[in-house]
Amino acid sequence: MRYCGIFDPVLIGRITLRQYSLMTKAIRLRLTDKERDIHAQAWLNVQAKATKERGKKIVPYFSSFNEFFKPPAEQEANTPENKQKKQEQNQLKMLILHANTANGG
């Protein structure tokens, strides 16, 4: 039960077989996620060290960190520029909606 973070003997005695089964499944999934993160880190380490030939020279495959790491779409959506665009679009929608209701549309 130490893997579940439960140390109270009374609580351990009250856990049903179904609860125990779910906790062990959660532990296995957590360990699988941790292993995936370790493998992803190893893969990124290899990618960061990647090189290519340019003529007779061997140069890094990625010239900058931004070229190497492109954030997921949901992180890009939260940039200040995109928030400003979204706010402007919402204001425009409200103006159009107001104009349509004012004209009887």
Alpha helices by DSSP H, the chain = 9-14, 17-48, 65-68, 73-77, 80-102
User: What is the secondary structure of 51-71 as a DSSP string?
Assistant: EEEETTEEEES-SSHHHH---
Which residue is associated with the tokens 């009374």?
10
> What pLDDT is recorded for position 41?
93
- CA–CA dist 89, 101 (Å, integer): 18
- pTM, entire model: 0.49
Mean pLDDT of the chain: 82
The span from the CA of 43 to the CA of 62, in Å, is: 15
Q: What is the pLDDT of residues 37-62, one digit of tens each?
A: 999 899 889 888 888 888 888 888 88
Task: Compute the average pLDDT of residues 90-99.
Answer: 86
